[in-house]
Amino acid sequence: MSRRPLVSVIVPSYNRVKYIEQTVDSAFSQSYSSIEIIIVDDGSTDGSFELLRRLEDSGRIKLLTHPSHENKGQSKSINLGLLHSSGEYISILDSDDFFAPHKIEQQVAFLEQSPDVGMVYGQGHAVDADGRFLFKVPDDNHAETSDPNILLLDCYMALPGGSLIRRSVFEKVGMFEESFRAGQDHDMALRIMEEFKVAFLPEVAFFYRKHGESISANGLETRWRTGMEILERARKRYPYRNRTIRKRKAVINYRLGQVYWKCGQKRRSIGYLIASGFLDPIRAGKVLLGSKS
């Protein structure tokens, strides 16, 4: 490429001392050199903040934190990084994930040649805590339709590290929703696709960790209740098909039913499971027959 636009890599970081250096290295060693790396520490207490300060002293990163080093959540951390970034393109990377070596170069080249596309994303490879391959998201046969209805039903993108987004997109759709402590990536992807064409570049873009640290029951409840709020906001913003709204409600009710069942709240669980069955009886039948989880 004759033009080398600046890319801002924004990393929200919280208590990832074991992984954060590899994350930074994967951005710093990209085959594309016109990059600024902005790390927003979200009140870490495990020594990762001190490690990041040393990386800042070496000139490798720009380090930001919230007032009084408070924990404010991932969305607020990403937004702080966005406000202090200068790049024409934005890439967001979780603090325990890492880029493929040519990710930025390939995606910048694609967007430079595709002015009608607001966001491009690639394939993510899930890895375990030691970096061993687990599975791919999306799979090798994936094709992007840029239809928000499909994305609302199933967040099939490996986000956020797999994508590259034009700064002008954020200027149109706004920042990450700071009231969400889960699902903010799905919410943002929907808002982008409602306004812009989105494309899939079939190259490995990044690697994301699947930890042994399981999400608590409270965390899962928060995730799916937030999912219902994301759905309601999406319905008010964009003319989604009624069938899409109904099927997504069915999935969320089913997942909440699962959460409450595992917590021993059987009566509460059954109410959500029945609601899910009424909203999408075909899917409910498949679940009962064991062909769908």
Structural element, H or E, at residue 285: helix 281-289
CA distance 77 to 68: 14
Residue 225 has pLDDT above 80, yes or no: yes
**In the chain, which ranges are E strands?**
7-13, 35-41, 62-65, 89-92, 98-99, 117-127, 133-137, 163-166, 197-209
**Phi and psi at residue 193, in whole multiples of 5°?**
-70, -25
Q: Give the tens place of pLDDT for each residue, 141-175.
A: 999 999 999 999 988 888 888 999 999 999 999 99
Domains of the chain (ranges; CATH) run: 7-209 (3.90.550.10), 217-289 (no CATH)
Q: Which residue has the tokens 């989604």?
A: 240
- Within 13 Å and on the Cβ side, how many CA atoms surround 221? 12
Q: With H, G, I as helix, E, B as strand and everything else as coil, classify residue 18.
A: coil
Residue 265 has pLDDT above 70, yes or no: yes
Does residue 151 contact residue 189 with C-beta atoms inside 8 Å? yes
CA distance 14 to 183: 17
Task: Find the mean pLDDT for residues 206-219.
Answer: 72
Task: Find the mean pLDDT for residues 228-246.
Answer: 97
Q: Give the tens place of pLDDT for each residue, 199-212.
A: 999 999 999 998 76
Mean pLDDT, the chain, integer? 93
Q: Which of 29, 30, 35, 26 is nearest to 8 (CA)?
A: 35
Q: With H, G, I as helix, E, B as strand and everything else as coil, classify residue 90.
A: strand
Q: What is the dihedral of CA 271, 274, 278, 280, to 10 degrees?
A: 110
Poorest-pLDDT segment among 17-31, 150-164, 236-250:
150-164
Specify the pLDDT at position 217.
Answer: 58
Specify the pLDDT at position 213.
Answer: 55
What is the C-alpha end-to-end distance of the chain, expressed in Å?
46
Tally of helices (H runs) and strands (E runs) in the chain: 11, 9
Confidence of residue 140 (pLDDT cuts 50, 70, 90): very high
The two tokens of residue 64 are 């930001």
